[in-house]
């Protein structure tokens, strides 16, 4: 693995409403995996976790090199799409992962979250506070957030969530293109990670 890495988190809505979009999203993830794997300059610099969420979030794949990126699970029977628990879960997972990388003395770029959904949260009142905690600029590990909306995505909600970029599939944007463009932009325009390595207190 290279001396500096970009931790990526693909958080995908796997509630029942996403069933018609699963093939499209998995194809996008395969394109993303293939593009990273084909570029020797970044192959060892991108690590990825996959998180599924509906009523509750869960880990699908924990922080591995891109060539190990897995497909998304089939949508569950639950129709709930709760954004709040997903944001809380992401904060905990990012914090734990970066502490682990710190233990191995790996330098990291600011994490990136790819949030994929049809943008219809079933917890409209409670998700904003959880999101504020995830994206709190006072948190040293505060991630960049890229949103990708499919189907009848709520453009307003996803626009509030995307801090870096926001995409809609109905605009003709492919998921794989959006993912690799975001990663390449960060790796090509961001300076190297700070000389100070991760500590137990944060990034």
What does the domain layout of the chain look like in residue ranges? 4-189
Write down the pLDDT at residue 75. Answer: 74
Query: 78 with 55: CB under 8 angstroms?
Result: yes
Dihedral of alpha carbons 88, 89, 90, 95, sign: positive
pLDDT > 90: what percent of the chain? 53
Write down the pLDDT at residue 43. Answer: 85
Write down the pLDDT at residue 113. Answer: 98
Of 54-68, 70-84, 91-105, which gets the smallest average pLDDT? 70-84
Considering the entire predicted model, what is its pTM? Answer: 0.90
What does the alpha-carbon distance between residue 117 and residue 1 come to, in Å, rounded to a whole number? Answer: 31
Task: Give φ, ψ of 159 to 5 degrees.
Answer: -65, -30
Q: How many CB atoms lie within 10 A of CB 43?
A: 15
Residue 197 has pLDDT above 90, yes or no: no
Closest CA to 30 of 168, 179, 186, 170: 179
Please determine, looking at this structure, whether the domain spanning 4-189 carries the CATH number 3.30.465.10: no
pLDDT, mean over the chain: 87
């Amino acid at each position: 693995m290279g001396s500096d890495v970009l931790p990526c988190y693909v958080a995908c809505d796997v509630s029942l409403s996403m069933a018609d979009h699963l093939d499209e999203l998995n194809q996008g993830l395969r394109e993303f995996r293939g593009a990273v794997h084909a570029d020797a300059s970044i192959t060892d610099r991108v690590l990825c976790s996959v998180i599924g969420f509906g009523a509750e979030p869960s880990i699908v794949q924990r922080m591995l090199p891109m060539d190990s990126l897995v497909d998304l699970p089939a949508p569950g029977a639950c129709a709930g799409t709760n954004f709040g628990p997903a944001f809380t879960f992401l904060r905990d997972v990012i914090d734990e992962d970066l502490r682990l990388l710190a233990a191995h003395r790996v330098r990291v770029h600011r994490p990136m979250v790819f949030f994929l959904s049809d943008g219809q949260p079933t917890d409209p009142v409670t998700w904003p506070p959880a999101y504020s905690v995830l994206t709190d600029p006072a948190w040293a590990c505060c991630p960049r957030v890229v949103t990708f909306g499919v189907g009848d995505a709520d453009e307003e909600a996803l626009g509030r969530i995307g801090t870096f970029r926001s995409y809609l599939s109905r605009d003709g944007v492919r998921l794989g293109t959006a993912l690799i463009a975001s990663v390449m932009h960060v790796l090509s325009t961001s300076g190297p990670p700070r000389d100070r390595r991760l500590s137990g207190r944060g990034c």
